[in-house]
């Protein structure tokens, strides 16, 4: 059981770091592309997909750690409610 709780902790941390890193890369590339081309058409064409990608990264980076935290708390509480001795 302790191994599973440790793994869940690692998964939550990994998801946070990966989404943060990808978010930084995504936004730096977007800013550089707009700054290099100065094209309003580029902004109009890519704002929707850029926004969806950012929302997906936020959902992944916050959602998976929250789910893993809930699972860890549930697993940690299991021995407390166990009737077997």
How far, rounded to the nearest angstrom, does the alpha carbon of residue 7 sit from its chain's CA centroid?
A: 16
How many Å apart are CA 36 and CA 38, to the nearest integer? 6
> Cα dist. 75→3, 15, 22, 33, 81 in Å?
11, 20, 30, 46, 11
Q: Any residues with CB less than 8 A from the CB of 1 and at least 6 apart, and which? A: 75, 78, 79
Lowest pLDDT segment from 4-8, 47-51, 76-80: 76-80
Output the pTM of the full model.
0.81
Q: What is the pLDDT of residues 4-48, one digit of tens each?
A: 888 989 999 999 999 999 999 999 999 999 999 999 999 999 999
pLDDT given at position 83: 61
């Amino acid at each position: 059981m302790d191994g599973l709780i440790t793994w869940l902790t690692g998964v939550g941390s990994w998801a946070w770091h990966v989404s943060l890193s990808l978010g930084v890369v995504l936004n730096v590339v977007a800013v550089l592309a707009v700054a290099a081309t100065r094209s309003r058409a580029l902004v109009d064409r890519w704002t929707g997909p850029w926004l969806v990608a950012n929302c997906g990264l936020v959902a992944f980076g916050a959602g998976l750690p929250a789910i893993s935290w809930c699972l860890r708390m549930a697993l940690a509480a299991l021995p407390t409610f166990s009737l077997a001795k």
